[in-house]
Amino acid sequence: MSLFFLAKRFVAGEEFEAAIPAIRRLNEKGIHVTVNRLGEHVKDQTAAKRAKQEYLAVLDHIKRARVDSNVSIKPTQIGMDIGDDFCYQTIAPVVAKAADYGNFIRLDMEGSPYTQRTLDLFYRLYENYQNVGVVLQAYLYRSVTDAEALNRVTARVRLCKGAYKEPASIAYQKMDDIRRAYLQLAKSLITDGHYPGIATHDDLLIEAVKRFVADQSISHDRFEFQMLYGIRPEAQEQLVQQGYHMRVYVPYGPEWLPYFYRRLRERKENVWFVLKNLFKK
């Protein structure tokens, strides 16, 4: 018997068709969506090309279903571990189709060995397609310089704290320092950037961003908050009701176990939710 039912709070389905109802429910609440097929570190060209075909099909599904969703892709899922040129050649048709459909592709950011390579991939794609964005991780020291460069080309940046274990030589380790760096970057991206995604579940950061934009008389249309599917849904709806743009990252796919495990490690209440539902009749 599949244990997928345990992950259903955080993963919308094992196939994209199963995720469409979840996307619709979010859209009905005024929430935008970014969808991602789970999977990473593909070493085989055939598997990377299958991922490309999956994303091309997802874009078709989104268009046919008329749901409000763009797409997020991990570069290692689509061939970066095979080679940078191969990765570019694999992902470019996906970005091109998204451009034809008026949709948007976000390049997810992975661990620090991929940071510069992912930015290089972004800039290479951005020469021909402006419907592509990238992610910065606030705990990396380099992100201040990276944000300045991305602001100069009016790139759409998703800002997160950073989820990978990185050494103190390149990344902040203490949460106070990470929050300080995050808020500095958020202010820069909102002030000088192009519609950044402020991706956090941290109330301290959310309230600090809200105070900043209010104090600076910055329109809510200049940015959006972003959260993960199944985490703090009431807060997501509340932000929409307060007049902010909200986007939820909705993952799907059969490779759900590592993602599910990360969600349990992040928050104790996630573990409690799963345990309660495990013993429900």
Active site residues: 108, 158
Q: In the block, which residue shows the tokens 């310089």?
A: 145
Reading the block at residue 36, the tokens are 């991602």
Question: Are 68 and 79 in contact, with CB atoms under 8 Å apart?
Answer: no
List alpha helices for 153-241, DSSP H. 175-192, 203-215, 233-241
182-195 per-residue burial string, b: 16 or more CB within 10 A, e: under 16: bbebbbbbbeebbb
How many C-alpha atoms does 73 have within 13 Å on its Cβ side? 33
Cβ neighbours around 70 below 10 Å, total: 20
Q: What type of residue is 45?
A: Q
Cβ neighbours around 134 below 10 Å, total: 23
Reading the block at residue 144, the tokens are 């201040």
